[in-house]
Structure 1
Amino acid sequence: MIFDRKQQRLLLEGTIYTPEEIARLVAEGAENHPSALWDLYLFLNEWFSDSPAMTVHTSGSTGTPKELTVRKDQMMQSARLTCEYLNLQAGDTALLCMNLRYIGAMMVVVRSLVAGLNLIVRPASGHPLSDISVPLRFAAMVPLQVYNTLHNLGEREQLKQTEILIIGGGAVDEALEAEIRSLPIAVYSTYGMTETLSHIALRRLNGNSASDHYYPFSSVELSLSPENTLVIKAPLVCDDILQTNDIARIYPDGSFVIWGRKDNVINSGGIKIQAEEVEKSLRPFIPVPFVITSVPDPRLGQAVTLLIEGQLDMEELKNKVQEILSPYHRPKYIRMVDLIPQTGNGKINRIECRTLAEKLL
C-alpha cells in the first residue's frame, strides 16, 4: 500500500493518472468533463495539494449539517483498515457511485489510491449498475441503491458479479436484509460516521458468517456511557474519544448491536419508545417510505406520530397497527405526506420529519 501522497496514482478504468495530470484536467474547466468525473478531479486536486487536511460534510440526518476538518493521514489509515479486512488488492475493480460531498464516497477514492484499486466511476443515482458491464471486485452503496438494484433484473444479475458489497449511510432494514441473504457475494453493513472517517465496524449480512452483530476493527476500543450509548476510541482515525448517540449493547467477544439513537427516543406519558423499534415492527406491513416521529402533546409530553409517503387504506392500516403494536407504542396520529424528508445522501432527516409533523398537526 502507498501512504506517500506524492507517490500515489489513480488507476481510473485502466488508465493511470498522476497528480500533474489531474491538475491539468481541472484547469480545463467543468464544462469539458462529465459531472461525476469533474467531482472526482476536484477531490483529487485537493487530495494531492500540500495541505495535510481537508474538509468533509456530515449528512445532517440527526442535526444541523456540519463541516469537519479531517487529516489525510488518518483517512489513509481508515482505507488501510478496510482494504486489509476485505483483502482488497492492487488492480481490483472498485465502483464509485456515491456523492463525493460525503465521507463514504471520499473513502472509496482514498482506498483506490492507497491500495491501487482500478476505480470505475458512475454518477450518484438510484441505479448505479445500470450501465456497468464488467465484474466488480468491490462496491459501496447506500441502502436505497441496493434496494433499486435488487428490483431490476439486469442490475440484480450484475450485482451477482460483484464480489464484495458494503452498505453504509443508513440502516439496512429487515426486508432488504432478507433479499440480500440469497446473493452469492459477500455483503456487509457498515457502522461508522463522518468523524470516524467512514466505518469502524462491519456486519456480515449473508453467507455462513452472517450475524446480527457488528465487529469492530482490532484497533478500535468500545465502551458504553451511563446512558448505554456507544463510546468509540479509534486512535488511528480519530484523535478524540467519540460519545455517540447510538444506544448499544456490547458483547464479551467485542461485537455490538445498535438499538437506535438516543435522540430518537420518544417519551410518551413516561414510557420511553425507540422510534427505530416501532419502525421495525411496522416495516413488513407498510410498502412505502414512512417514519415514526413525535409531536408535542399537553398530556403525554410527546405523542407518537406516523408519517407515510403516498396514500394507503387508512382503516386497514389502523387495524394492522392495533394488531401488532402495544397501546403505548401505537401512533396517536397518522398522516399521509407527499415526501418523507431526506438528507442529501438519502438518510431520513429526523429533524425535518418532526417539523413537518408539527405543521400538519
Structure 2
Amino acid sequence: MTPKYTNVHSKFKLDNLSYTYEDLMEVAYSYVKEGLPYQQELGDFLLDWLDDKDYIIVKTSGSTGKPKKLKIKKEAMVNSAIATGDFFNLKPGNKLLQCLPSNFIAGKMMIVRAIILGLELDMVEPSVLPRIDYEKDYDFCAFTPMQLKSFAKYLKSIKTVIVGGGRVSNTIIDLIKDKKPHVYETYGMTETVSHIAVKKLNNFSGQEEEKYFTTLPKIKLSQDERGCLIIEAPKLSDDKIVTNDIVDLKSDSSFKWLGRYDNVVNSGGIKLFPEQIESKLQDKIEGEFFIASKEDDTLGEKLILIIEGNNNDIDNTIFDDLDKYEKPKEIYTTPKFKETASGKVHRRKTLEALNLV
C-alpha cells in the first residue's frame, strides 16, 4: 500500500514510544505548551503535518536570496521520503537520529521519513556536538558540516550519514575517510523538498561516477543557457525547478557543482567561480571566509577575500596553488559575518556591512 500523509506507520516510534495519529496530535500540543525550544519546534511542525490541509508552509534559509515562505504539498514530502528510503534502503524499524532544527526543510523531512517509513526516531537538541547515547546504534542520520566535523570520532554508531547545508571542507573529508559508516554529501533546497541528489564522501569503490552528485529515483536533470541546473521532479514539483547553480552536467542524472550564478565574478573578461577558489583555500585559512568581488574601473570586477576575525596578517603563500586570475587583489576582515536564520553565512549582507556593494 502506498503511504499517505494522513497515515502514521504502525512501526513509527518517537523517542522509543509508539504513537497513533491521535496520540501524536496530543504529543504535539504537549511539546508546544511545555517542551524545550527544539521540542516546541517539533510540536509546531507535527501540528502542521497532522492538520487537515494538504500542504505546509516552509521557510527558505535565505542564504542565496531573501528568505521566503513556500507552500509545499504534503504528498510531495511523502514522495521525497519514499525516494530517500529507496535510495538508502531504509526499512520499517530502522533507527533514525534527528539533531537538526525542525523549523527548516531538512529537519522536517527527517520527521516525515520516520512517520511515513515506520522508522524509530530519536530527537536530540540541535547543537554543534549533539548529545546522544553513544552506546546506541543508528541506521541513518543527517548532519550539518559543522556537526559532522565535531561528531566524526563517534560515527561508528551510525550506519549511513548525510551532510548538507554548507560547504564540506577537505578537513572534514579527511576526518571521515577511514570511518566505516557511509557518508554522503547532499544537494537540494526547500523547493526540491530536501535533497534530490547525493555524492559519496568516503568508502569509495573507485568508480568515476562517485565524483559526481547522483540523483535519487525519478529525477531528471538538464541545463539552461547560463549553464545552470534545471530539475524535473514530477513527484516533488508540478513545475521544472530552474536553479542558479552552475554545474558540469555528466548525464541527466549526475553532475558536478561548480558554484552559484549570482556569485560568479567577471574580472577582465575572465569568469571566476568563488566556490571553486574557496575549495582550494579551505585548508589554508582558519575560520570562516569567502571569496567575492568589488567594482573596479579597469577589470570591471576585482576579486576580494573576506575573512571573519580581526587578523589581517595573511601570508600570501596561501595563494600559491591558485591560478593567476584566482588570486584575490584585496583582503578584508570583519569581526563577525552576517548570518541567515539557519546560521549560514549571508554573503550579500556581510558585503553591505563592509560597504563593498
Q: Same fold (TM over 0.5)?
A: yes
1:310 CA displacement: 2.2
Q: What CA deviation, in whole Å up to 9, does each residue of 1:88-147 have, x standing for no partner?
A: 111111111111111111100010011111111011211124555411111001111111
1:289 CA displacement: 1.3
> Paired residue for 2:184?
188
> Paired residue for 1:153?
none
Map 1:158-177 → 2, pairs under 5 A: 159-177=155-173
Q: Distance in 2 between the 1:315 and 1:239 partners?
A: 49
Whether the aligned pair in 1 keeps the contact of 2:245 and 2:258 (CA below 8 Å) is yes
> Paired residue for 1:282?
281
> Paired residue for 1:3?
3
1:353 CA displacement: 2.8
What SS is found at the alignment partner of 2:283? helix
Change (3 A) 1:220 1:107: same
1:15 aligns with 2:11: no
TM-score (norm 1): 0.91
Q: Distance in 1 between the 2:111 and 2:251 partners?
A: 35
> Paired residue for 2:263?
264
1:93 aligns with 2:95: yes
- 268-277 or 30-39, larger mean C-alpha shift: 30-39
Specify the code of the residue in structure 1 equivalent to 2:23: E
1:292 aligns with 2:291: yes
Q: Distance in 2 between the 1:209 and 1:129 partners?
A: 32
TM-score (norm 2): 0.92
Whether the aligned pair in 2 keeps the contact of 1:295 and 1:354 (CA below 8 Å) is no
What SS is found at the alignment partner of 1:23? helix
Change (3 A) 1:311 1:183: farther
Q: Distance in 2 between the 1:238 and 1:7 partners?
A: 22
1:148 CA displacement: 1.8
Change (3 A) 1:28 1:219: closer
What SS is found at the alignment partner of 2:138? coil
41, 44, 48: which one aligns with 2:43: 41
1:214 aligns with 2:213: yes
Whether the aligned pair in 2 keeps the contact of 1:307 and 1:357 (CA below 8 Å) is no
- 71-80 or 96-105, larger mean C-alpha shift: 96-105
Structure 1: gaps (5+ residues): 151-155
Map 1:54-69 → 2, pairs under 5 A: 54-69=56-71
What SS is found at the alignment partner of 2:63? coil
Q: Distance in 2 between the 1:24 and 1:265 partners?
A: 49
Specify the code of the residue in structure 2 equivalent to 1:74: A
Specify the code of the residue in structure 2 equivalent to 1:237: L
Q: Distance in 2 between the 1:290 and 1:116 partners?
A: 41
Question: How big is the alpha-carbon RMSD for the aligned residues of Structure 1 and Structure 2?
Answer: 2.1
174, 177, 192: which one aligns with 1:178: 174
1:352 CA displacement: 1.7
> Paired residue for 2:200?
204
Q: What CA deviation, in whole Å up to 9, does each residue of 1:194-253 have, x standing for no partner?
A: 111011111111113472111112311111111111111010111110111111112248
Specify the code of the residue in structure 1 equivalent to 2:179: L
1:299 CA displacement: 2.9
Identity percentage of aligned residues: 33
Q: Distance in 2 between the 1:216 and 1:6 partners?
A: 27
Change (3 A) 1:4 1:319: closer
Change (3 A) 1:114 1:315: closer
Structure 2: gaps (5+ residues): none
Specify the code of the residue in structure 1 equivalent to 2:148: V
Q: Distance in 1 between the 2:132 and 2:21 partners?
A: 30
Q: Distance in 1 between the 2:2 and 2:8 partners?
A: 6
What SS is found at the alignment partner of 1:358? coil
What SS is found at the alignment partner of 2:13? strand
Change (3 A) 1:307 1:313: closer
Whether the aligned pair in 2 keeps the contact of 1:307 and 1:340 (CA below 8 Å) is no
1:313 CA displacement: 6.4
- 29-38 or 82-91, larger mean C-alpha shift: 29-38
Whether the aligned pair in 2 keeps the contact of 1:295 and 1:357 (CA below 8 Å) is no
Whether the aligned pair in 1 keeps the contact of 2:182 and 2:202 (CA below 8 Å) is yes
Q: Distance in 1 between the 2:104 and 2:31 partners?
A: 22
